[in-house]
Amino acid sequence: MEKRQIPYLDPRGRKVKILATVGPASRDPEMLLKLIRAGADAFRVNMSHGEHATHAETIAAIRAIEKDLNRPIAIFCDLQGPKLRVGKFKDGKAVIRHSGHFTLDRNPEPGDETRVELPHPELFGLMEKGQRLLINDGKIQLKVIRADENEILCSAVVGGVISDRKGVNVPDAEIPIPALTAKDRKDLAFAVEQNADWIGLSFVQRPEDLAEARKLMGGHGALCAKIEKPMAVRRLDEIIEMSDGIMVARGDLGVELNPEEVPPLQKKIVNKTRIAGKPVIVATQMLESMIESPAPTRAEVSDVANAVYDGADAVMLSAETAAGEWPEEAVTIMDRISAQVERDEAYLDRVRFLDTPPDRTTADALAHSCMTIADTVPIAAITVFTGSGSTARRVARERPSVPMLVLTPRLQTARRLALLWGAHAVMTRDIGSFEEMIAKGKRMALRHRFGVAGSKLIALAGVPFGTPGSTNLLHIVTLAGDELEKYSQ
């Protein structure tokens, strides 16, 4: 049987990336291909749902499409984390009266309207009078009256229906539990075995939470800390330093904080991560109404646009593509919003409003120079030669006006950069000389449509070639007409 050929995809024409969650609505190979064509740059595999066998099939399908398209695609395996939940009820549910009393205890018997088991012994003795417990995404709000080693007696500030295994949020205390559960360790081992490019660590509270995950990853993949606990915000700088990227996970963050606190905090997290030169993803409910509707609300469009204006590296779709009725349309609209924002003449001023002064290193100085040269001279693209991806991250940190063509000999690096702002990564053999660098940069720029005859390119690399951390060379080249004819064939 003759292998089906899929034409190579052109560069996106936008710099922000789209991370789409895979689920029942999108794991079919044909739908995955549609999502990529619509604009998806990376796929999130949510380890909270589904079996390993199903996830393995999904990952294999993505890798097969990646090979056919000759385009690196990032796979982001998102760990469930230590989600706290109540126990079960006699009738499957109960009603907590407004202003009434309700007890969380260690009794495994089914609960009723007065009590239920809380199967998390680490919380007993930790809770203090006046602290809050939020149940079912904050729909039920309890305030602690007293707590001991066996019971937490609460007053219902907001009552309502509570049912089996609903989630519990504790916004006012740092919970002494590890960020990795037994399930997470199994899921992490699976993700490493599947060569996942990114691992998302949920409910991070402290920088120490990242250490165990990093150790278990054994150098495979990049580690993304999901900021969804107020406690994490208090040590944000340390968490950013210990991670490879950050996700602003607004779901649980929006439960544990007052709604009006989330937008300025989102901007703070994006800014601090950008200054550190690491990818930052804005996630959760970005086009929530498109789970059921073929069109988003105006407020959702503005939400996506604001994240793009803030200079986020990527924006994420969750249930919209995982379980929604309009997965392809959701990606298409997110792509259109992002592209429209980037066409705004005020866009560059907005993303550069954040001051990202270069570190006092040669590599950072050259990355900063790429931005200023592209603003001064008509440059078509910045061609970056990198092994680890660090040079590309330095250039992206400056938010240059032109795209980056990133050439790397490592497939792992090319895939990981699918979530980096402005980067179009291509895997190619390493270079060994200055002449080879110039020739390859021209050839790849023409082949991947980053220039035409007469276009100027910036080439950024390190000498000696193949030496990590040696970025020390910046060169401007012009594409000639005969090269266009030669390399485009």
Closest Cα partner for 283 from 307, 310, 258? Answer: 307
Catalytic residue, candidates 14, 27, 166, 226: 226
96 phi, psi to nearest 5 deg: -95, 125
Q: How far apart are CA 483 and CA 126, in angstroms?
A: 69
User: Can 429 be counted among the known catalytic residues?
Assistant: no
b/e per residue, 292-323, with b = 16+ CB within 10 A?
eeeebeeebbebbbbbbbbbbbbbbbbbbbbe
User: Can 362 be counted among the known catalytic residues?
Assistant: no
With H, G, I as helix, E, B as strand and everything else as coil, classify residue 254. helix
User: Can 226 be counted among the known catalytic residues?
Assistant: yes
Residue where the block lists tokens 């949920």: 202
User: Can 93 be counted among the known catalytic residues?
Assistant: no
Q: Is 429 exposed, middle or buried (0-12, 13-18, 19+ CB in 10 A)?
A: exposed
Catalytic residue, candidates 44, 71, 250, 394: 44
DSSP-assigned beta bridge partners for residue 93: 163
Q: Which amino acid is at 281?
A: I
Q: How far apart are CA 342 and CA 262, in angstroms?
A: 24
Catalytic residue, candidates 58, 284, 383, 386: 284
Catalytic residue, candidates 37, 63, 85, 443: 85
Phi-psi region of 328 (alpha: psi -120 to 50; beta: other; left: phi over 0): alpha
C-alpha neighbours within 13 Å on the C-beta side of residue 208: 5
Strands across the sheet with 132-135, in order?
84-85, 167-169, 132-135, 140-147, 151-158, 101-105, 115-117
Catalytic residues: 44, 85, 226, 284
